[in-house]
Amino acid sequence: MCRRGGVEGEDAVTDAETATFRNPVLPGFHPDPSICRVGEDYYLVTSTFEWFPGLPVHHSRDLVHWRPVGHVLDRPEQLDLDGVRPSGGLYAPTIRHHDGRFHVVCTLVDGTGRSGHFLVTATDPAGPWSDPVWLDDAAGFDPSLFFDDDGTVWFHACRPATEDGAEPASPGRTEVYLRRLDLAAGRLVGPEHVLWRGALVDAVWAEGPHLYKVDGRYHLLAAEGGTEQNHAVVVARADEVTGPYTGNPRNPVLTHRHLGPGQPVVAVGHADLVCTPAGDWWAVLLAQRPYGGGYHPNLGRETFLVPVVWEDGWPVFCPGVGQVRLEEPRPALPPHPWPTRPPRDDFDAPELDHSWNMLRTPRERWWSLSERPGHLRLRARPETVAERGQPSLVARRQQHASWTASTAVEFTPAGARDAAGIVVVQNDDFHLRLVVTRGGEGDRAGRVVRAVRREAGVESVLGEHALPETGRLLLSVRADGQDHALRWALDAGAEADAGSGGDAGSVGDAGSVGEVGPRWQTLAHTDGRMLSSTVAGGFTGTYIGLYATGEGGAAAAVADFDWFEYLPHAE
């Protein structure tokens, strides 16, 4: 069991290039982080809600540099997300390692099939992971596991609080409860113990609980206040795992809610602790970085890393500062960066990269990397990104406030509903589409590029331009903060047929910024604030993806994407 470590600054790295690191350590939509250490290796999982594969696993040797190694739930038979609403699905996983095995416990919320808590295990965090073992008698959400020194395994989670064990308490009032888990039988046993209802009087949304044993005492770490600007980290401790728990008189031990609006980092909470081999403590937690005026966190909830020390038997987060900063002194661990991931995916690998996700569980193989080597082929299924189905969409997280995403696509729409291109997605009712489709009617129908904005379920066409009936098209979305420019260009050799000019291109015919290339046309500019959860609701961040839809059937149209490139702008 890890004990309290030394004070902040011991064994500090002195090299000027490695003395600090930049937060967040996992930028973009990576909420509810949970971490464990095995020897000198660290493993971290985060929530994914309605996105598939579920629960990405990241690996680090220095707590700063992380690489994806797989997903906990990557087989359709493991995970039923059919029809799950936006921001339903997989909530708040916890990862722990015990006796040579990794354990992840999580909650599937509002599933149209199976819902509730489940447990999966693996000997290798990269997988394969087991099929879920459902804990049918466990209520609530945000589960966690604690392996005690005597071998007892304790399951703890949150649920709506009740008054006198019968009547529901006020809205948002929750409680942390504890029960023993029989791992071999895959079920909870023994009596329940209610541990905590929050630090503040009438606290709402006590959630994200984790238990630790430090210097012989049990420490309960939790969040409260809701997962937006009032989010906070609180802690309590007890002499027995079942309680009673006494709150830290300095609670909350970390929050930004008292700083007011306009801060670069807000909504701090949902922490998990880890101890290095040298005895230093760190916490991973979620926070948001709004931008573009007001509270608009398009990036979603991201994973940050902060130092922790122990004083008077209590954890002190961000000692001497009390805030989560964008730049922190790095851990006293040997720097271990991973090979840089290229900004462009040429779709040359046999399987999709770990960075790509899909909406809900794929029940058929509508994508291919082999039918046309060097291309991602999407078969245009009838489901659209505006429905709660499983559209032909592969998407990756937005990870910067300013960025450019580009692709080269070959697509010939047959019917009026056939469309393929780039989408920028918050959810089914809030997104942008830049697609090749068919415009006009009857003999006048022809191939066009169209920009569509969908806000609160209402669609508006921002711009449209006629295209030659054949030929490869370049599509690009450039975001400068909340200003989103939707652009297109004909591939080299096809421009002469278009008879139109446009902006000088920043993406060349090979797709790299700065090269001389085709002449771009800006089809529309639009405000991206509606892509934030503040406007759209929910708990997810923005995704950027490649998309195809159509009438379906045996003769469904196919879209071939030669490459996809995501480039951040200099900040």
Residue keyed to tokens 């791992």 = 183
Q: Of 32, 328, 410, 560, which one is the catalytic site residue?
A: 32
What's the token pair of residue 282? Answer: 């760190």
**Is 474 within 8 Å of 488 (Cβ atoms)?**
yes
- Output 145-152 pairs: Cβ under 8 A, ≥24 positions apart: 145/94, 145/96, 145/103, 145/105, 145/181, 146/96, 146/210, 146/211, 146/212, 146/213, 146/241, 147/96, 147/98, 148/213, 148/241, 149/1, 149/213, 152/180, 152/241
Count the neighbouring beta carbons within 10 Å of the beta carbon of residue 418.
23
Residue 535, classed as helix, strand or coil, is helix
Sign of torsion, CA 552 553 555 560?
positive
- Kind and range of the H or E run holding 536: helix 533-536
Whether 207 is catalytic = yes
Amino acid, single-letter form, for residue 167: E
Angle at 303 between CA 179 and CA 118, to 5 degrees: 30
**Interatomic CA distance for residues 28 and 70, integer angstroms:** 17
CB atoms within 10 A of CB 512: 16
CB-based contacts of 330, cutoff 8 Å, min separation 6? 13, 18, 19, 20, 21, 62, 64
Tokens standing for residue 332: 């006293």
Q: Amino acid identity of 19?
A: A
Cβ atoms 394, 352 nearer than 8 A: yes
CA distance 238 to 151: 19
Bridge partner list, 52: 358
Report the length, in residues, of the chain: 571
- Give the C-alpha separation, 466 to 237, whole Å: 67
Query: 144 to each of 54, 445, 488, 503, how far by Cα in Å?
Result: 17, 57, 47, 53
The Cα diameter of the chain in Å comes to 80
What are the structure tokens assigned to 292, written together?
């573009």
User: CB under 8 Å to 322, separation ≥6 — which residues?
Assistant: 254
Question: What's the one-letter identity of residue 306?
Answer: V
Q: What is the residue type of 73?
A: L
Q: Are 352 and 32 in contact (CB under 8 A)?
A: no
Annotate 61-113 with DSSP letters as a single string: SSSS--EEEEEEE-SGGG---TTPPTT-EEEEEEEEEETTEEEEEEEEES-SS
Structure tokens at 88: 């339903």
Which residue is catalytic, options 207, 280, 345, 383? 207
Active-site positions?
A: 32, 207
